[in-house]
Copies of this chain bind each other. A is one copy, B any other.
Amino acid sequence: MDLSSYHNHYRILVAVDCIIFGFDGTQLKALLIKRGFEPEKGKWSLMGGFVREDEGTDEAANRVLHQLTGMKGIYMEQLCAFGDVDRDPAGRVISIAYFALINITDYNKQLQLEHEAKWFPLSESPELIFDHQKLLLKAQERLREKVACDPIGFELLPPKFTLPRLQSLYEAIYEMPFDRRNFIKKMRSLGVLNKLNEKERGSSRKGAYYYEFNNQHYNHVYKSIKKFV
Point out residues on A near B: beta carbons under 8 Å.
Answer: 1-6, 9-14, 37-39, 50-58, 60, 78, 80-81, 83-85, 89-94, 96, 144-145, 147-148, 170, 173-174, 176, 178-179, 182-183, 186, 225-229
Contact = CB atoms under 8 A, between A and B. Distances in A.
A46 B91 CA distance: 29
Number of copies: 2
B91 A1 contact: yes
Given A54-B85, A84-B56, A96-B81, A227 B2 contact: no
Contact of A78 (B6, B80, B186): B80
A195 to B, nearest CB: 20
Contacts of A90: 1-3, 5-6
A9 B186 contact: no
Nearest to A146: B226
A139 to B, nearest CB: 14
Given A6-B13, A78-B81, A84-B56, A144 B38 contact: no
Given A56-B85, A228-B174, A9 B50 contact: yes
A37 B179 CA distance: 60
Contacts of A148: 226-228
A93 B227 CA distance: 35
Given A55-B85, A92-B53, A145 B2 contact: no
B51 A228 contact: no
Given A57-B81, A91-B1, A170-B228, A52 B144 contact: no
Contact of A93 (B6, B54, B228): B6
